[in-house]
Amino acid sequence: MTSLEPNENSIKSLNDISLEEMAQRQQQQNIYVSPPVLETQKEQEQEQQQLLQLLHQVQQNESSISSRSSSKHLHRDTTTKGKYSLNDFQILRTLGTGSFGRVHLARSIHNGRFYAMKTLKKERVVNMKQVEHTNDERRMLKLAQHPFIIRMWGTFQDCRNLFMIMDYIEGGELFSLLRKSQRFPTPVAKFYAAEVFLAIEYLHRLDIIYRDLKPENILLDKNGHIKLTDFGFAKEVSDVTYTLCGTPDYIAPEVVATKPYNKSVDWWSFGILIFEMLTGYTPFYDPTPMKTYENILNGTITYPDYLPPDILDLLQKLIVKDLTKRLGNLQNGSDDVKNHPWFKEVIWERLLSRDIETPYEPPITSGVGDTSQFDRYPEDKELDYGISGVGDPYGNNQINYLLKYISLLD
């Protein structure tokens, strides 16, 4: 599999890029559009049935909920609800921040292992109408078990926050490596694309649409293999769905046009990802999201002259508005992508077993909580984790919210 060998000049010798440019990209790429809605009558009926079942659980726990809500004093709760609790972990430094909270490096006080602790503030999740997406993220991560998908170990909550405990992936984001390298040589881009393909193919077999594929959501482990992360927009869909969500540069035209869509949107995003890895930019980018959407609907792409014919052919068959022509959405499904000439050197069985040498091995010390591949973020000295008592607006008085979130308890 020699074509997947690294180009040392472009990967081993990395030039730092300004933090301003990375921050600008991250700000642009984290514009999420439109709250989720119940998308079919069938989903509405399923939702009602789930609420009836969960209501019984809430009624059984009503007395304890009332006592927490009526307390006059805040205190650190040693029994946060769920399989795990804050007392099981030592919170270290911040690995990333987002609209709903932070991701922390945390160490288990029991086994000494390092984990990523994702925190979500309930108030922000509700105000931004992301309750359904948050529940979906937990459910999808619990369902998915794959070498190239991040593993979630458990969840718990207190009166103000939700917590997800996941593997800590030390190598950082593929986005950071791409920005330092400017663009990847073809063999390197092919390696990462092939591993991403296997992750997406697996999710589609489970009827899961990922809906937010981009370099920021691809982590590199200690050996340089990928881990797909952030399932906030993943959804289990057997037919079609309608929700407008995603990241502007990567959203498929049928999503922008608010048409019903299916797994085909992930293959569009897969094409955009390959394009960006090979060129260093996305084909429809504009500083203004609305202009980006216009460019996507227009569908015109100028391909660089240095792209070889086989990759040009693949990109033109993935980044195509006509769903009857888009690879991955045709009769043979994902096999059409896997069997494309650009991937002809890939030995898929060896790749899945991680038996292929990676083009880049992150310069880290494994197993000691090395955070050298992550940016520094200002630490919040007033973390409201583990607080119970007053200040919980999502107890008895907002039963619909509680019904949603009872499912987050292990």
Give the pLDDT score at 32.
41
Check pLDDT > 90 for residue 19.
no
Task: Lowest mean pLDDT of 175-179, 191-195, 359-363, 393-397, name the range.
Answer: 393-397
Distances (CA, A) of 81 to 108, 118, 145, 152: 17, 16, 25, 17
Check pLDDT > 80 for residue 8.
no
pLDDT in tens, 80-121: 455 788 999 999 999 998 888 899 999 999 999 999 999 999
Check pLDDT > 80 for residue 321.
yes
Check pLDDT > 60 for residue 1.
no
Task: Lowest mean pLDDT of 38-52, 202-216, 244-258, name the range.
Answer: 38-52
Q: Residue 46: which pLDDT band, with cuts at 50, 70 and 90?
A: low
pLDDT in tens, 205-248: 999 999 999 999 999 999 999 999 999 899 999 899 998 888 99
CATH topology of domain 86-169+366-402: Phosphorylase Kinase; domain 1 (3.30.200)
Domain limits of the chain? 86-169+366-402, 173-353
Share of the chain above pLDDT 90, in %: 64
| Catalytic-residue membership of 158 | no
Give the pLDDT score at 280.
98
Q: Is the pLDDT higher at 392 or at 27?
A: 392
Annotated binding residues, as ranges? 118
158, 212, 230, 266: which is the annotated catalytic residue? 212
Q: Residue 380: which pLDDT band, with cuts at 50, 70 and 90?
A: confident
Q: What does the alpha-carbon distance between residue 117 and residue 5 come to, in Å, rounded to a whole number?
A: 34
pLDDT in tens, 197-217: 999 999 999 999 999 999 999
Q: What is the average per-residue pLDDT within 278-303?
A: 96
Annotated binding residues for ATP, as ranges? 118
Q: Is the pLDDT higher at 54 or at 194?
A: 194
Give the pLDDT score at 84.
85
Check pLDDT > 90 for residue 39.
no
Average predicted confidence (pLDDT) for the chain: 81
Look up the pTM and report it: 0.79
> Would you state the CATH architecture of domain 173-353?
Orthogonal Bundle (1.10)
The amino acid sitting at 317 is K
